[in-house]
Every structure is written in C-alpha cells, then in structure tokens.
Amino acid sequence: MSEILPSSFFIQIQDASGNWASDFVENVIIPKIPHFPVELGTVLVMIACAGIFVAVVPLLPLVLVLAERKVAARFQNRTGPMRVGPWGTLQTLADGVKLIFKEDFIPPQGDKLLFLLAPYVIFACSFAVFAAIPFSQEIIVSDFNIGIFYIMAISSVIVMGVIMAGWSSNSKWSLLGSLRSAAQIVSYEIPLGLSILTVIMLVGSLSMTDIVATQENGFFSWLIFRSPFTFLAFFIFFISSIAEVNRTPFDLPEAESEIVAGFHTEYSGMRFALFFIAEYANMFAVSAIGVTLFLGGYEGILPGYDFLGGLPGFVIKTLGLVFLMMWLRWTLPRLRVDQLMNLCWKYFIPISFFNILGTGIWGLIFKTDDIWSIGISCTIIYVGLISAYVIAGRVFSRKPEPQASSV
Amino acid sequence: MNLEEIYQVLKDKFGESVLLLDTELSGDHSIHISPAAIVEISTFLLETETLAFDTLMCLSGVDLSAKDEEFAVVYHLYSMNHRHKVVLKTPLPKSNPQLPSVSHIWKTADWHEREAYDLYGIVFEGHTDLRRLLLPDDWEGYPLRKDYEEPDFYRGMRVPY
Amino acid sequence: MESTQSTESKIIELQPFTDEMIVNMGPQHPSTHGVLRLELRLDGEVVREAIPHIGYLHRCFEKHSENLSYPQIIPFTDRMDYVAAMNQNWGFCLAVEKLMEADEEKEFAIPERAEYLRVLICELNRIASHLLSFGTYGMDLGAFTPFLYAFRDRERLLLLFEKVCGARLTYNYIRIGGVSEIIPMEPGSIDEQNFLDEIEEFLDYFEPQIDEYNDLLTSNSIFSERTVGVAVMSAEMALSYGATGPNLRGSGVDWDLRRDEPYSIYDRFDFDVPVAEDIPELGAVVGDCWSRYKIRMDEMKESVSICRQILAEGLPDGPVMAELKAVRPPKGELYFRSEAPRGELGFYIVSDGTPKPVRVKGRSPCFSALSALQELSQGLMVADIIAIIGSIDIVMGEVDR
C-alpha cells in the first residue's frame, strides 16, 4: 500500500495498469505533441478524466429524474410527462431550461455567502464520489488504494452543505429540515460504515478494484453470498443508504407534508436544480457502491464468461438498485423522526456490530476462496430466509384483518 | 323525558331563574332561562342522572331584530344515554350582553362562544381565551347584529363591493 | 457573610436551557388541508402547544343567508364542505323542510323518488369524501400513491354527479322539496337505466378496491407505526368537544344519526355502523388516529351496501319535486342535524314567516372536531400534528364558513 499523498495521487493514475485514460494520453496524445514535457502528462490525464466525468455524470440525473417520473407514473396509473419530446423524454431538459431562467431568490435576512455556497458544496461532494467508483475494469477515474474510505469521507461532507443551506436560509422550516438531516445522516453513517467494514474484513483491502476482483468467479462469489453476515450487511447498507440520500421512507429532511421542503425551501432556480441533481447523483452513487461492494461490481454473473459484466452489467445492476429505491419511495409512507432514530440505534447498529463479530469468526474458520465457505454460507442464507418467511408469515397471519364491530 | 318534564324539573329546582316554556312558535320549543343561572342549570343538566345532557350540539347567538329585546344565546343540548334534547334560551340586553361561560362544562362551547363573541359581541365571563375567531383581531363591530353597519374601509381596503 | 457569598458564586450551575421556537404552520402549508394556521410552540421536534387560528376562509355564510331566500341559500351550503356538497345541500334542505312540516296549515310531502335519489347520491358523495380523506391522509404521511388511486376512483363518482346535476363539485342538486330537475331523467327511461347501470358498474369495481387500499396503506407497518396510539381521543373527550361522525365512532361511541335518529328513508335500509375497537395485535387503541382513519375505510363499504340496496329496489316512479307554491316556513325556529361524511351537520334556522330567514347557523362538524386539536397535540411531534389533522379530516370551507 502506498502512502496517501497528493503527489502519489497523480502517480497512481499514471501507473495504474489498464487505466484507459493514462494509456490514451501516453500512447496517443503525447507522441503527437513534440517536446511535450512528460511530467505534464499526468495533468493532461486529470483534465481528460475530469472533462469526461463532468460531461457524462450530470447526464445521469437527467435520465434518472425522467426515469423516476415515469416509474412513479407507472405505479400510479398515469402516463407521466408526455408532451415534451417523444414520450416526454425531453421533459427534464425543458425543466432544466425553465429552472435556469427562474428568479434566483436570496433571502435578504439570510447569510448570503453560506446560502450561495451550500448548493455547490453538496453538488461538488456528490460528484466527487464518482471519482472512485469503478464503472468497469478500465473506466475508473482514480483507483485509490483507499477508495471506499475516500467515498465514505466525501459523502459525509454533504451534511455540511445541508446544514449550511438550512441555517443560511433564515427560515424555521429550513432549519428544522437541516437539523433533521444532520441527525439522520450522522446516525446512519454508522451502520453504513459498519456494514462496509464487514466487506473490508473479508477482502482485506480498501481499494475498490481489489474488492471487485475478489468477486470475479461469478454469481456465487459475490460478496453478498460469501457469508451470511455480508448478506445481512447488504440490507443494512441498502436501507441506510436510502436514509443517507434522504429518500422516502426516510425523507424527513425534505418532508413536503411536514416541513414544506426542508433545507431547500428557500432555494429557487438553478440553485434548487443543483440540489435536485445532487440528490439523483447521490442515489446513483450509493447504488453503484452497493453493487461494487456486494453485487460483484463490473464482474459478470458466470465464472469465466463476460456475461452481464463490464460497464453494461455494472450499469444494469446499479439501475436495478435505483429502481428498488424508487419503488420504495412511491409505496411507503414516511417514518417519524423518533422512529427513524430507533431503527438506526436500536436495530441497525447492534446488528452491524454482530455482523462484524460474525464476519471475524467466519474469516477465522474459512479461507477467502474456500468453495466450502460459499456453499455453507448459501445454505445458511437459504435456511435463514425460509425461516424468516415462515416466522413473518405466522406473525402476519396471526394479525387478523381488523374489523370494526357492527351493531 | 320530554320538554315539559324537563321544564318541570328545572322549574322545581331553580324556580325564578327558569323564566318560561316557549311553545308559541313552530319547530323546536325552548326553555327560557335567565343568563346569570346558565352555569348552575348547565351543570345540573349534565350531572343529574335522569337528564345527563352530555353533548352541546350547538351554541348560537341570535339577534331577531334591531330592537333590544330579541337578543339571545341559544343552547341545543342532547343526551346520548336518554336520547332526549332540550333547547335553552337566554335573553340578553343588547347594550351589555354578558353571561357566564359554559366552556368548562362542554368543551364544544369553547369555540362556539368565541364565535358568538366574534359575530355578536356577547361576552362570556370566565371563558379562558375570548378572542375573535373568524374575523381579524382588529375588526370593528359585530357583523351579525341586525343594527350592524359595515365599515367603508378596513386597513385601506374598501369593504362594500 | 461575604466569604460565604463568594464561595457560593463559584458554584456554576449547569442549566441546560433550550429556547422554544414559535413556528407558523400555515395558512399556506401543504398538509393543513386548506388555510388553517397553527401556531406551534416547538421544543426541537416536540410540540409544546399548537394553537389553531381559523377564519382565513370565512365567507360570511351566515350573514349572506340573512339576505337571501331559502332556495338561494342552498348554493352557499355547497361552499361549506365542498368535498361533500350533496350532503350539505341535503342537511340544509332537511332543516327547512322540517320547519315547513311544522306548519299545520300547509302540507307537503317529499316524493319517494326524490328521497331515493337523495340517499343514493349522498351515499355516493360520502364515498367520494372518504376517498379524498383516505388519499390525502396517505399523502400527509408521505405515501403519494394512494392519493392518485383515490382520485382515480373519485373521478368516476364526480362524472356520475356531473351526469345528474351538471356540476362536479358544487352541485346545488338537492332542493327544498325534492331534487333538481335540471337534467331530466324520466322514470323508467333509458337515461335512468343507464345512470343506474353506471352506478352499479362503479360499485362492482369499487368494492374490491377498498380491500386493495387496505392492503396498500392500512396494513402497511410504517403507516400503522405513524398512526397507532397517536393522539388518543377518549369517548368523554370526544363527546365534550362535540366531535361527531367518524371521529366519534373512532372514539368508540356507537352513534350514527342515520341509524339512531333516522331521517329521510334511512330506516328502510340495512347497514352496519362501524365502531372502533382495541386491536391488541396491532396495538391500536380506541380513539387514536388509526381508528378514526379505519372507520372511514369501513364506512365506504357500508355506503356501497346502501347504494346496492337502492339499486336492487330500483327508483320508484313519480315526480322528483314536491308541489310547492313558495318556500315560506312558518314563524318559528328549528335545529336539525344530519349525518354528513364528517359528522353531525346541524342547521339552526330562525324564521319569522317571510321568505328570508332571520338567522341561519351552520353547525359544522369540522369546527368542533378541530377545537380538540389543541388538547390532542400536546407533547407530540411535528409529524404527529399532520397525522392528527388528517385523521380528524377537516375541510376548512366548513370550519370557517
């Protein structure tokens, strides 16, 4: 493991074997430019990567916003946007244009600097996360050796932006929303981090590509199936990440029926759009992290074949998780703030600690690539699921359909 | 119990405070009582087992004409157990309409009394929070009185349209 | 003396003191169901006190009424509870009719056909009103989808109302002495058959939908966590505050004016009155938000059953309007109450024998139920306030009149 210094950051990009960007710059661009100082090559790689990501990644929210509206429409027996473009496909673009031309209102009593800064903090942080996500073997901006740690750190900074937005708006609803958000995100970081830790304990590396590399032997080598504890950890990770990105049933910071719109009540125009884009970017990012950590990342589902692997496989799996989030959002009501905290502190955190203990013991018993471990793990998961189903079925069947008495 | 029996019970108990049983008009017949005794009579009506008027259906101020004498508060009471009802009427002087509040006996009266205060200017003594309810706090006059004349302007806005 | 003082002053007392925050919820707020303003005194998320301020939708119904003839008042009752306007029309017409019946000299009877039409339409309107309440309650608690499901079904009902009276929201359909004939529907005609068939089709479609809504929202565990045990209104409290209708039955009082003081032709129909009970498996206690909500869901089934009974009997022949020379009740006064979807809707009418009333007071069920909010909401959370408002199901048009 190399040391984590800014200089090594550049070097790593240059040295990373199979990094398409550095290859491209070294082999194609630099030879064509005479007397090009080689040291500047890294800078060129940086610019190329950044340029591509700045161009491509903001398109994700554009697509996701439309997808969300269409998915919601589907759930609700309506058609969703249909007017702009064929089947309403250009609706988000039209909304974007509208938002750009809207009045940029700044509350006169608010803290102007913080108010202006907050959307950029959130926006920048949620996009910085994309730097460490391995979309495929080649497409990764920077393959840190501490990739997942970096992601956790950066995504925690988002809460700063939320608090800045809420505080500087000088609105009581915004303040309530931002404080709710602070409490929620800080709380749910813990089960999130702990469930990531179970993966790291099995893999023994913080690097995203290393984590993916251990899952290269097809479906059953995915970390979610490696041990019953990672299976549990995946669900804790997924639910916590919904809470992290403030979506129903955990959308208390922006609960429109309670506190109007939470921390972004006072924002309008493009600043509001930045929050909006950041929210969808976040959603994609946490799903991508979930796929990378638990669902095999860019590796295919069959050992030795590249079936559903690479970039398309990765994107399909990620969008699957995103769809699950949308499904939950349009089905479930919202939790109350104390119930939210109960869920985190009384259930998720103890289970996460139990997971870590269990993973440690699992790691002592089985080797990482032990075929037996996967078999035993899958058996335990299967038996556990069946018994959970039976127990749940009994609980729910015992609850009779409540009938009011008739006289 | 029908109205005559209730009237008899009240008359025996309270004597002078129960003024008369009004059966002249069509529709509901009412018992007229003096305003000062409303709390005692209400408590009696609620707490006596054979009466047990546990709900106040409606409390309304009434102003029948611009004259002074036809100004009143009307209580419509109902008993869930015995399924009988009674209408109490308390005539009030329009110049100084004051009577004790029954909001501690039936909580329905809380807002209904505020409404009567708001629209008729009837002051309910002992009401904990007698403010205007439907109209703005700085509105002048009591609009449902028959002699009410609407102001020309309210905060610079023309009122008659 | 001085030395003791100095030692005392060194003791630093830690007084954790948090400021209370006063927040105005409304009059423009997504889930106060109109223009209700709540003055919230908050300690963090906990509500120390919630003071309702009403009057933002006050349209002087009572003052207007004094200057209008009785038939002219009916459209104003539409604007009271605009979600269940048929029931409001009916409540007012019933009061006027009762007062006119008290006059011995003139005699008139409301035609059978009109009575059947009234019950049919008002029960459909009750379903529409409860559907709206169900949908918005889901939305208040963060579930968006039930809202659109409810509106999809309500839309079909509104189309039916449009067929019968030409309006979708403010109907002015039920008149004094009968129902409006503005869209003629001859007894036994193809129009009538089509209309009844459409209602039957809707009922066949709608009855299974109630179970689907129960699956979607009522049995949802997050929904029950949000509503079960929240803001318990005891039976005594409900009676004292004058909460009526589903709110009273949600508090466990077995009381329905349609059954206990049958007006019109309700005594001819066989229907149950849902009353809340403790449900230990769920933790629901009588009088909590969940019970109030569930009563409405069950009442929709009963309304469907009443409509089905009417459809089975068929509408009787005859006119839909009584022979009335003029609407001129005798000198007198009357308080009459009927069971609107939100509870006991009373009209207190004072007449001096002229075509215009001297005094009309609308006793609105929401008005009384809303006055309980201040006591119900103490010590709960901001999110619970929303749950309470949704569960007592207010319509501000009726509260402010």
Structure tokens, A62: 């554009």
- State the average pLDDT over residues A213-217: 79
Residue C266 falls inside a structural domain: yes
Do chains B and C meet with 3 or more Cβ pairs nearer than 8 Å?
yes
Residue C331 to residue B25, Cβ atoms within 8 A? yes
**Chain B closest-CA separation from residue C92 CA (Å):** 15
Short-list A394, A143, A146, A135, CA closest to A284: A135
Residue B57 to residue C63, Cβ atoms within 8 A? no
Do chains B and A meet with 3 or more Cβ pairs nearer than 8 Å?
no
What count of other Cβ atoms lies within 10 Å of the Cβ of residue C109?
12
Quick one: pLDDT at residue A6? 42
Q: C268 touching B, CB under 8 A?
A: no
Q: C49 touching B, CB under 8 A?
A: no
Q: What is the pLDDT of residues C128-157, one digit of tens each?
A: 999 999 989 988 888 888 888 999 899 999
Q: B64 touching C, CB under 8 A?
A: yes
Interface of C with A in 333-372 (CB under 8 A): none
Quick one: pLDDT at residue C11? 64
Measured between its terminal Cα atoms, the distance across chain C in Å is 68
- The pair phi, psi for residue C323, each rounded to 5°, is -75, 105
Quick one: pLDDT at residue A245? 86
- Considering only CB atoms, which chain A residues are within 8 Å of C220? 332-333
- The pair phi, psi for residue B90, each rounded to 5°, is -120, 105
Residue C223 to residue A78, Cβ atoms within 8 A? no
The nearest alpha carbon in chain C to A399 belongs to C281
Percent of chain A whose predicted confidence (pLDDT) is above 90: 4
Quick one: pLDDT at residue A140? 72
Q: Which CATH superfamily is domain B3-158 in?
A: NADH:ubiquinone oxidoreductase Nqo5 subunit (3.30.460.80)
Quick one: pLDDT at residue A237? 92
Element (H, E) at C305: helix C289-313
Residue A333 to residue C282, Cβ atoms within 8 A? no
Mean pLDDT lowest among A31-35, A202-206, A240-244:
A31-35
Judged against a pLDDT cut of 70, whether residue A130 lies above it is answered with yes
Judged against a pLDDT cut of 50, whether residue A402 lies above it is answered with no
The SS3 assignment for B20 reads strand
Burial class of residue A270 in the structure, from the number of CB atoms within 10 Å of its CB (0-12 exposed, 13-18 middle, 19+ buried): middle
The nearest alpha carbon in chain A to C295 belongs to A404
Q: C37 touching B, CB under 8 A?
A: no
Residue C200 falls inside a structural domain: yes
Tell me whether strands B26-27 and B55-63 are parallel, antiparallel or unpaired.
unpaired
Number of domains in chain C: 1
Could you give the CA distance from residue C261 to residue C258 in angstroms, rounded to a whole number? Answer: 6
For C169, the domain range is 21-400
Residue C4 falls inside a structural domain: no
Mean pLDDT lowest among A327-341, A372-386, C228-242, C356-370:
A372-386
Contact C98, C334 (CB under 8 A): yes
Q: Which CATH number characterizes residue C366's domain? A: 1.10.645.10
Give Cβ neighbours of residue B13 (< 8 Å, ≥ 6 apart): B44
Q: What is the pLDDT of residues A159-187, one digit of tens each?
A: 888 888 888 888 888 888 888 888 888 88
Judged against a pLDDT cut of 70, whether residue B16 lies above it is answered with yes
Could you give the CA distance from residue A192 to residue C225 in angstroms, rounded to a whole number? Answer: 24
List subunits contacting chain B, requiring 3 or more Cβ pairs under 8 Å.
Answer: C
Could you give the CA distance from residue C35 to residue A382 in angstroms, rounded to a whole number? Answer: 54
Short-list B144, B141, B138, B142, CA closest to B156: B138
Quick one: pLDDT at residue A20? 60
For chain A, what are the domain ranges?
A: 7-56, 102-383
Average pLDDT value for chain B: 83
Interface of C with A in 206-245 (CB under 8 A): 214, 216-220, 222-223, 225-226
∠ Cα A309 A312 A317 (to 5°): 80
Tell me whether strands B85-91 and B30-33 are parallel, antiparallel or unpaired.
parallel
- CA B80 to centroid of chain Cα atoms: 21
Give Cβ neighbours of residue A371 (< 8 Å, ≥ 6 apart): none
Q: C183 touching A, CB under 8 A?
A: no
Residue B57 to residue C335, Cβ atoms within 8 A? yes
Query: What number of H helices and E strands is found in chain A?
Result: 18, 0
- Considering only CB atoms, which chain A residues are within 8 Å of C30? 256-257, 260
Could you give the CA distance from residue C94 to residue A291 in angstroms, rounded to a whole number? Answer: 66
Average pLDDT value for chain A: 80
Do chains C and A meet with 3 or more Cβ pairs nearer than 8 Å?
yes
Could you give the CA distance from residue C172 to residue B75 in angstroms, rounded to a whole number? Answer: 30
Judged against a pLDDT cut of 80, whether residue A221 lies above it is answered with no
Question: Which residue has tokens 């925690």?
Answer: A156
Residue C201 falls inside a structural domain: yes
Q: What is the pLDDT of residues A233-246, one digit of tens each?
A: 898 999 999 988 88
Quick one: pLDDT at residue C2? 46
Q: Which residues of chain C have pLDDT under 70?
A: 1-17, 104-105
Q: What is the DSSP letter of A27?
A: I
Quick one: pLDDT at residue A14? 42
Percent of chain A whose predicted confidence (pLDDT) is above 70: 83
Element (H, E) at C85: helix C85-101
Highest mean pLDDT among A22-26, A350-354, B155-159, C33-37: A350-354
Contact A229, A202 (CB under 8 A): no
Residue type, A369: D
Across the interface, of A251, A252, A333, the residue whose CB is closest to C138 is A333
Residue C241 falls inside a structural domain: yes
Residue C272 to residue A407, Cβ atoms within 8 A? yes
**Chain C closest-CA separation from residue A334 CA (Å):** 5
Residue C1 falls inside a structural domain: no
- Considering only CB atoms, which chain A residues are within 8 Å of C141? 257, 333-334
Give Cβ neighbours of residue A143 (< 8 Å, ≥ 6 apart): A12, A16, A19, A132, A134, A207, A208, A209
Could you give the CA distance from residue A165 to residue B25 in angstroms, rounded to a whole number? Answer: 67
Could you give the CA distance from residue A249 to residue A239 in angstroms, rounded to a whole number? Answer: 10
**Alpha-helix runs per DSSP H in A331-370:** 337-342, 349-365
